[in-house]
Chains A and B, each alone.
Chain A
Amino acid sequence: MLQQEIEISELRLITDLIKQKYDYDFGNYAMSSFKRRVARVLELYKMEGVPTLLRRLDIDAKFFKEFLAEITVNVTEMFRDPTFWVELKTHIIPHIRQNNENFSIWHAGCSSGEEVYSMAIVLEEMGILDNVKIVATDIDHVILDKAREARYHIKNMEVNKKNYTTFGGLYNLENYYKEESGKAVMDQNLVRNVEFREQNLVTGSAFSKFDLILCRNVMIYFNQTLQNQVLRLFHESLHKYAYLAIGSKESLIWCELANKFIVVNNEEKIYKKIRD
């Protein structure tokens, strides 16, 4: 999947066509990873080059849905970076609760939902799950369905269980799912207060205000221009003194709105909005 070298001009043709035809804008995605994703699609569908892909995208709307699912990266884990979840549980959430007993969380780019369930488990174990309204969004409705269903491959549960143990969960992760023909089926009761909705961070606008936004390892697929734009959206969607969490190897310091946030925890990349 890495063999094909694709030219930037060809990527431009792809993003232009998709924008025109389907109103999705990949023009400001990070170039190198987008290029690899396109190369992957070419290989997956045994296409000999970008012209074939362009023709297919032009005439086949159903294929575009598949393309969308392949182009977005959906590798995620439950309790990825256990120390991050410890920080949430011991500092961030208690801080939010000092001011509001009831609060709201947005998982922006929730993919197949692992972090949503991780969050629900944390809140459940803190005994406050019913005090929290969670909204989980993604650009791809196919992956959103997967998040809703939450039937994960049992082989993926090994790393999830390990992470949960490192995090210091109260029980065993098995308490929250049952095995059904090779799948771990998550307890739907955990997401009773979760609204899953399709939303495009690139073209979407603010739809509510939140006390905490999680957007971990999503903006790494955007270029700086798009990161600036998405940070504006988050800034608008956060109450003053509310929190934003990004991936541990991301940073806001290169963003235009960086001065409206302070770092609360630099190791875990948790920020607080301090200016409107």
Chain B
Amino acid sequence: MNISLTKSKYNLNNQYKAIVIGGSAGSFQVISKILQNLPEDFQVPIIMCLHRLKDVRNGFVEALNIKSAKLIEEPEDKEQIRKGKIYLAPANYHLGVELGNTFTISTEGMFNNSRPAIDITFMTAAYVFRNKLIGILLSGANKDGALGMKRIAEKGGLTIIQEPSECLIDTMPTSALKETAIDYTLTTDEILDFLNQLHYHYV
């Protein structure tokens, strides 16, 4: 790929400190494809909050790891967010970001019928990373993540949703669209392209 030579349609820079990705029903294939095509030396930490079974603690991260180019980890409470890492919200906990760039987990009640809730991950990340955050919201059957996207936009971060017509269930991205202006509406392949272009700003 020689994307760096073509003029980017995205206004990117190397100031981003983190990417948060939210997904629910219909997002697993998309996430898998993203992880599979990610450059091995991708720098920006990725924090994923995906709706998953509450009572199944093991298996999910392993399933994602089978095809992923990089190792995916479920962070522990107070763990430092590091460059080049990919994190997944653990089952039955909310995952948040705390000032000082550490993770924080919580067993509070469900938000939007979800624990982990995408809104919590996105909002806490927006609070800490401000305009240096990219939020990506994928296919899903409820409105979790919409308020989180709004908060990211308010703080000056970059917002991306999966092209609704491509989603298995488009409630999640369209809810975000109703809540806030979205910078880019992209297909899965375009998201891959976006991340690759972002990568070139960091190498």
Minimal Cβ-Cβ distance residue in B for A255? B78
- A32 and B98 within 8 A (CB): yes
Chain B interface category by residue count = 20 to 34
A101 to B107, CA, bound (A): 35
Cβ contact within 8 Å between A227 and B105: no
Give CA–CA (A220, B108) in the complex, Å: 11
Q: Do residues A251 and B76 form an inter-chain contact, with CB atoms below 8 A? A: yes
Given contacts A2-B123, A32-B98, contact A220 B109 (CB under 8 A): no
Which residue on chain A has the smallest CB distance to residue B95?
Answer: A249
B147 at the interface (CB under 8 A from A): yes
- Chain B residue nearest to A216 (CB atoms) is B107
Shortest distance from the beta carbon of A173 to any chain B beta carbon, whole Å: 15
Asked if A224 lies at the interface with its beta carbon under 8 angstroms from chain B, I say yes
Say yes or no: B77 contacts A36, CB within 8 Å.
no
Q: CB of A61 within 8 A of chain B?
A: no
Given contacts A220-B77, A224-B78, contact A33 B57 (CB under 8 A): no
B104 to chain A: which residues have CB within 8 Å?
30, 32-33, 220
**What residues of chain B lie closer than 8 Å to A32, measured between beta carbons?**
96-98, 104, 124, 127
Asked whether A36 lies within 8 Å of B57 as measured between CB atoms, the reply is no
- Min CB distance B6 to A, Å, is 39
Segment 227-267 of A: residues with Cβ below 8 Å from B:
227, 247-251, 254
25 contacts between A and B (CB under 8 A): A1-B111, A2-B123, A5-B127, A32-B98, A32-B124, A33-B104, A36-B106, A36-B120, A37-B108, A73-B106, A75-B109, A76-B107, A81-B57, A83-B57, A162-B55, A163-B55, A217-B107, A219-B77, A221-B106, A224-B78, A247-B77, A247-B107, A249-B75, A249-B76, A251-B77
Other CB < 8 Å A-B pairs besides A36-B120, A220-B105, A221-B106, 20 of them? A1-B111, A2-B119, A2-B123, A30-B98, A30-B104, A32-B98, A32-B124, A37-B108, A73-B108, A75-B108, A75-B109, A76-B107, A159-B55, A162-B55, A220-B106, A248-B90, A249-B74, A249-B93, A250-B76, A251-B77
Interface residues of A (CB under 8 A from B): 1-3, 5, 30-33, 36-37, 73, 75-76, 81, 83, 159, 162-163, 166, 217, 219-221, 224, 227, 247-251, 254
